[in-house]
Amino acid sequence: MSSIDLQTSAHPGVALARDYRTPDGQPDPLSAPDQPRIGMPLSRLDGPRKVTGNARFAAEFALEGMVYAALAYSTIARGRIALLDTTATEAAPGVVLVMTHENVPPLQSPPVFLTTAKGAAGDDHPVLQNDRVHWNGQPIAVVLAETQEQADHAVTLLQVEYVQEPAMTDFDSAETREPSNVLGGPASVTIGHAERAFEDAPCRVDAIYRTPRHNHNAIEPHAVTLAWQGDELILHDGSQCVDHVAYSLAQVFGIDESQVHVTSPFVGGGFGSKTLWQHQILAAAAARLADRPVRMALSREGVYRVVGGRACTEQRVAIGADEKGHFQALIHTGKAAMTAHNNLPEPFTQATKCLYGADHIQLAIRVADLDMLANTFMRAPGESVGTFALESAIDELAEQLGIDPLELRRRNEPERDPTSGLPFSSRHLLEASRAGAERFGWARRSVRPGARHEGEWQIGLGCATATYPYMRMPGAAARITLSRHGPVRIDVAAHEMGMGTATVQTQVAAARLGVPIERVQFNYGDSSLAGVVLAGGSQQTAAIGGAVIAAHRALVEALLELVGSDSPLAGLSSDDIECREGGLGVPGDASRFETYERILDRAGHSEVLVEADAAESEELSHFSMHSFGTIFCEAAVSTITGEVRVRRLLGAFDCGRILNAKTATSQFRGGMIMGLGLALMEETQFDTRNGRIMNPSLAEYHVPVQMDVPEIEVMWTDIPDPHTPMGARGIGEIGITGVGAAVANAVYNACGRRVRELPITLDKLL
């Protein structure tokens, strides 16, 4: 469990969020004029602990008697182990245990993410239970030693021979199938007769777009430090779903979920990858076999071998329009790589479902099952690569029609969700787009590609729409402990992966409780805390917020039960009450007010504790709920080398209420930087001859560094969504969406070369 010691800094001149009413018509306490905490650019409360080295990550816990683990990885894509000679390894200095399929304890297959309510595993392969090999890089042995160096050396001494079997590793030649579901919904959506309408349309674009594999490269590689205490398993893990990991490990080891305790106080980036993979299971099995605590920290290469990433896609986007640009047909279909052992077809049509109105729509995803490491979630799965295809095609159509790309998008702005028919809970995309265009100087864009030069550089502007859905998963709960003199403690099994969760939730709780920020202690990162919360799908803020709202109401009711007949609050209900100035009172009536301390004193209580579950997320059944934005890019292309330099980026977003201006800006910019990597450099090199990832390091897998990142400007509407718990929608993932297309469209405007396959490397422009 982690808690934050509070520090604040003044930021004068910051506008507060607009006042609005909650879905039940009540005034929202978060926008009260005497609560200037929501929206303020409060610095991250965990910052001092991180910069001073006092924040402990998963591989920084030291347990008495701990040994260190190293993994051996297969070098074939499919087959079986014919020989695994451990003699030299066992004789190496410091070796405590060599665990293979021949001596591993019995383990059940782990529950895959999205197949059960709390499943967290990337795949359902049996973990080291037989001699079978399912992908190139699969762990085949674990070595425990007294030091990490001894373990790393000893694992190189293993002698392995394989019997290879035919493997399917070529995405282009693999047969495809329709998956049973995509994120729990259908794999295809059909409205009208899109192909027929497309053929009849006077203006048409029909193109194939390709995106490569991507691998996770969080600043903190995956690691776990764990020990068995009798039949209880204690883990310090870098996790974005502590309760899910606890449940899933309990299934693997055949024990009760209460016997698994996961802590994850600090996580150095997750982006969808910090769930359950084989390394945690193997570390726990080896610890049980050796009867010693174990630390397993994956190398950067180890992350590529064991932890899944984004799958490659091939997408067709076909748009048929009339002469004025009205979409008569919108087709977005294609295929993505997957394995038969996981449950995540890359959902690249998600954005297309909600962005544009069209008379006829056809969306479909097929998958090609390959013998490879299971793919998994990676920041904005689907939307990040799907918007590249969709928004590039719209740019192509705009040029054909002679219509400004922003204007073409405006002409196809839907009144209701184009595929579900639901009304939008809140949609201010056009306002954000207009403001962003004015700020960026979009009017100065040259209509003719290649018209603007600065020496050897051709300069172009491009734009694309960004979107990501609002979600609020079930299971969230919060525990509030109000002490007479101590801090107000908020306990939620939530996660801090660097996005500012603890800071924002402290602000929200302080505003709701009517106490200074310094008095709130937000505890998180521990499976023993309240609720089941997942840091994923940009939904954790809303999930926690809903839980805190429920717990806050329970707290007010509990306090009112304590007041005596001589209290100024006697006879009042929670509907009559507001929290302000460290107590409860009637709005507008200073005489009917009592501090928390006074209420507890009267009742003879030192503290009061309440816990409540968040209300069901019924809003999603009544409204289409999404965040939106427009990405603007200025790119320069060298006429000599074909090098692309992105010179400016601007993101104008509509994400509901912004709860903390400083952390929100950081999140938007971080997503846009990741989008730069997607656009210009990120690509997993996959050898189709043997299914092996060939660039498993940051030396060869390129991500944006300081000199690659230009000026990035961020702006937002700050219009609360009246149907979310705090008026806010998630912002962690929308920043990456649209960036790939905005860059590609700017490159085309600069030099006249249309790139339909990411990344946009110089060889594609020469």
Are 649 and 711 spatial neighbours (Cβ–Cβ below 8 Å)? yes
Say how far apart CA 608 and CA 552 lie, in whole Å: 12
Place of tokens 């994120």: 183
Q: In this structure, what token pair is assigned to residue 495?
A: 């996660």
Say how far apart CA 711 and CA 600 lie, in whole Å: 53
DSSP string computed for 382-409: THHHHHHHHHHHHHHHHHHHT--HHHHH
Strand partners, 757: 210
Say how far apart CA 734 and CA 280 lie, in whole Å: 30
Pairing status of strand 327-338 against strand 360-369: parallel
Q: In this structure, what token pair is assigned to residue 724?
A: 């979310």
Place of tokens 């400007």: 713
Residue 149, Cβ neighbours under 10 Å: how many?
13
Q: In this structure, what token pair is assigned to residue 565?
A: 């007949």
Say how far apart CA 262 and CA 280 lie, in whole Å: 11
**Cα torsion angle, 562, 565, 567, 571, sign:** positive
Are 446 and 749 spatial neighbours (Cβ–Cβ below 8 Å)? yes
Terminal-to-terminal C-alpha distance of the chain: 54
> Which of 549, 453, 437 has the alpha carbon at shortest distance from 23?
549
Place of tokens 């290469």: 301
Say how far apart CA 449 and CA 764 lie, in whole Å: 17
Say how far apart CA 87 and CA 76 lie, in whole Å: 22
- Is residue 287 helix, strand or coil? helix
**Cα torsion angle, 653, 655, 658, 659, sign:** negative
Q: Is 230 left (phi over 0), alpha (psi -120 to 50) or beta?
A: left
Say how far apart CA 397 and CA 211 lie, in whole Å: 21
* 733 among known catalytic residues: yes
Q: At 622, which amino acid appears?
A: H
Residue 36, Cβ neighbours under 10 Å: how many?
11
DSSP string computed for 634-698: EEEEETTT--EEEEEEEEEEE-B--SBHHHHHHHHHHHHHHHHHHHHT----EETTTTEES--ST
Which of 220, 578, 619, 733 does the annotation list as catalytic? 733
Say how far apart CA 560 and CA 501 lie, in whole Å: 30
Say how far apart CA 286 and CA 298 lie, in whole Å: 15
Say how far apart CA 755 and CA 745 lie, in whole Å: 9
Q: At 238, which amino acid appears?
A: G
Say how far apart CA 483 and CA 608 lie, in whole Å: 7
Are 484 and 605 spatial neighbours (Cβ–Cβ below 8 Å)? yes
Burial zone of 603 (CB within 10 Å; 0-12 exposed, 13-18 middle, 19+ buried): middle
Residue 175, Cβ neighbours under 10 Å: how many?
8
The residues assigned a catalytic role are 733
